[in-house]
């Protein structure tokens, strides 16, 4: 094993189009630089926290610190895996998901973003399908949740297109000083199985499982 103390560095999820991998610090700097080039248009805030409009270099530093925090805080009862999305050897975005007491609940929540230049080309769907494959096939998840503001048509498009169902709504902080309507989405194991792809590969997962509180994955 190349990274016995932090086996996540050996974990990859590969589709014909993209690779998801747990970033080392070089990957994180690439991700930070990508965030500096823009994540959305200035008049549209897709996130609860307005990290994506913080002026440089605090935005880039914030991207690093967020990733380091998830890494440092990971425990079997409460974890979040933040992957970089790599296409043609370039970091083009981030796909994360996490869980609390996963061994009990088998439930995950996810979030993602792509650099502006990489949006609207089907990559959002591809990386979400890669993440769902890891969650359901690799970890034995039973349900995956997601949410997006009601005018975030790209994120809503990804969720509906890969099989999530609408799951109600909620008011939620939006950026610095607004409140927005979040549409909630969910996909359960059965709906995922009906859409399961057979061209997605998971590498290096086994040594990670105990660190995520998983002794036996239901799907494997
Ligand atoms: C959300 C995001 C990850 C989606 O990725 P993407 O690569 O742009 O989306 P895709 O090209 O895979 O499109 C997914 C679906 O949404 C549709 N879609 C994409 N952009 C759209 C838009 N602007 N308006 C309407 N539909 C859109 C696509 O047609 C596709 O649906 P289909 O399969 O039925 O054709 C990306 O747009 C992004 O990073 N946005 C900014 C950050 C963000 O909003 N993050 C999510 C916060 S909840």
Q: What is the CATH number of the domain that holds 49?
A: 3.40.630.30
E strands along the chain, which residues?
A: 12-14, 19-21, 78-87, 90-100, 107-114, 143-149, 165-174, 178-188, 201-203
Indicate whether residue 40 lines ligand 1 (CB < 6 A).
Answer: yes
Cβ of 46 closer than 6 Å to ligand 1, yes or no, is yes
For residues 170-196, one letter each, b for 16 or more C-beta atoms within 10 angstroms of the residue's C-beta and e for the rest, the string is eeeebbeeeebebbbbbbbbebbeeeb
Q: Is residue 65 part of a domain?
A: yes
192 in any annotated domain: yes
Question: Angle of helix 25-36 relative to helix 58-73, nearest 10 degrees?
Answer: 140
Cβ neighbours of residue 161 closer than 8 Å, sequence gap 6 or more: 125
Residue nearest to atom 6 of ligand 1 (CA): 124
Answer yes or no: are the C-beta atoms of 77 and 94 closer than 8 Å: no
Q: What percent of the chain has pLDDT over 90?
A: 96
In a domain, 213, yes or no: no
> Does the Cβ of 148 fall within 6 Å of ligand 1?
yes
**Taking the complete model, does pTM exceed 0.75, yes or no?**
yes
pLDDT, average across residues 184-210? 98
Is residue 21 within 8 A of residue 86, CB to CB? The reply is yes
- Residue 197 resides in a domain: yes
How many structural domains does the chain have?
1
Could you identify the atom of ligand 1 that is nearest to the CA of residue 121?
11
Q: Could you tell me if residue 138 is inside a domain?
A: yes
pLDDT band at 217 (very low <50, low <70, confident <90, very high): low
Q: Is residue 3 part of a domain?
A: no
Is 127 within the bounds of a domain?
Answer: yes
104 in a structural domain: yes
Could you give the percent of the chain with pLDDT greater than 70?
Answer: 98
| Distance from the alpha carbon of residue 3 to the mean position of ligand 1, in angstroms | 34
**Residue found under tokens 């399961």:** 196
Average pLDDT over every residue of 49-63:
98
Q: What is the mean pLDDT of residues 33-41?
A: 98
Q: List the domain range (segments joined by +) for residue 113.
A: 8-207
164 CA → ligand 1 middle, Å: 14
Whose C-alpha lies nearest to ligand 1, atom 18? Answer: 154
């Amino acid at each position: 094993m190349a990274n016995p103390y932090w086996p996540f560095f050996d974990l990859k999820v590969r589709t014909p189009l993209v690779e998801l991998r747990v970033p080392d610090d070089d990957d994180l700097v690439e991700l930070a630089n990508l965030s500096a080039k823009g994540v959305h248009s200035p008049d549209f805030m897709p996130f609860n926290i307005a990290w994506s409009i913080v002026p440089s270099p605090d935005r880039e530093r914030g991207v690093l610190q967020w990733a380091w925090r998830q890494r440092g805080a990971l425990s079997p009862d409460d974890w979040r895996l933040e992957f970089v999305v790599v296409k043609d050897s370039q970091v083009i975005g981030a796909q994360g998901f996490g869980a609390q007491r996963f061994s009990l609940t088998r439930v995950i929540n996810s979030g993602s973003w792509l650099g502006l230049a990489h949006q609207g080309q089907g990559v959002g769907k591809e990386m979400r399908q890669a993440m769902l494959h890891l969650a359901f096939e690799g970890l034995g998840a039973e349900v995956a949740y997601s949410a997006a503001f009601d005018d975030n048509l790209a994120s809503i498009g990804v969720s509906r297109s890969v099989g999530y169902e609408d799951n109600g709504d909620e008011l939620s902080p939006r950026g610095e000083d607004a409140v927005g309507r979040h549409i909630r989405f969910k996909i359960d194991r059965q709906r995922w199985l009906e859409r399961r792809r057979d061209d997605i590969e998971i590498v290096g997962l086994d040594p990670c499982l105990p660190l995520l509180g998983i002794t036996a994955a239901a799907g494997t």
